[in-house]
Amino acid sequence: MNAKPPVKERTEEMGSAMNPDEQAAIRMVANDLHRLNQSVMKAVEAGVSVELIRSARHHCGNGNWGDLLTPIIVKNK
């Protein structure tokens, strides 16, 4: 079984193959994802369960796509 290189190394390798606009877009996604994860943790600590599910998939017509998410919130008794 081949071991994958660490995430940081894989990310840097993928990033070096992107143009500046692509790199900026990925940075924005990463920053927003970090904020989303922090918000999910705060919601869980406040007493709710949070599940993110794919609600749709966005296609731009040139073969690229991205998953769009919606939260499912469950209030524990």
pLDDT in the model for residue 25: 93
Q: How confident is the model at residue 70 (pLDDT cuts 50, 70, 90)?
A: very high
Q: Has residue 52 been placed in a domain?
A: yes
Query: Would 1 be classed as within a structural domain?
Result: no
Q: Using an 8 Å Cβ cutoff, are 58 and 43 in contact?
A: no
Helix or strand or coil: residue 8? helix
Q: Given this model, what pLDDT does residue 17 score? A: 87
Question: For residues 32 and 56, is the Cβ–Cβ distance under 8 A?
Answer: no
Tell me the residue range of the domain where 24 lies: 7-75
**Beta carbons of 57 and 66 less than 8 angstroms apart:** yes
Output the pLDDT for position 3: 76
pLDDT given for residue 5 in this prediction: 72
Residue 53 maps to a domain: yes
* 57 CB-near residues (< 8 Å, 6+ apart): 65, 66, 67, 68
Q: Dihedral, CA atoms, 16, 21, 23, 29, nearest 10 degrees? A: -160
Number of domains, the chain: 1
Q: Are 31 and 25 in contact (CB under 8 A)?
A: no
Render pLDDT for 2-61 as a digit per residue (tens, 0 to 9).
Answer: 677 777 777 777 777 899 999 999 999 999 999 999 999 999 999 999 999 999 999 999
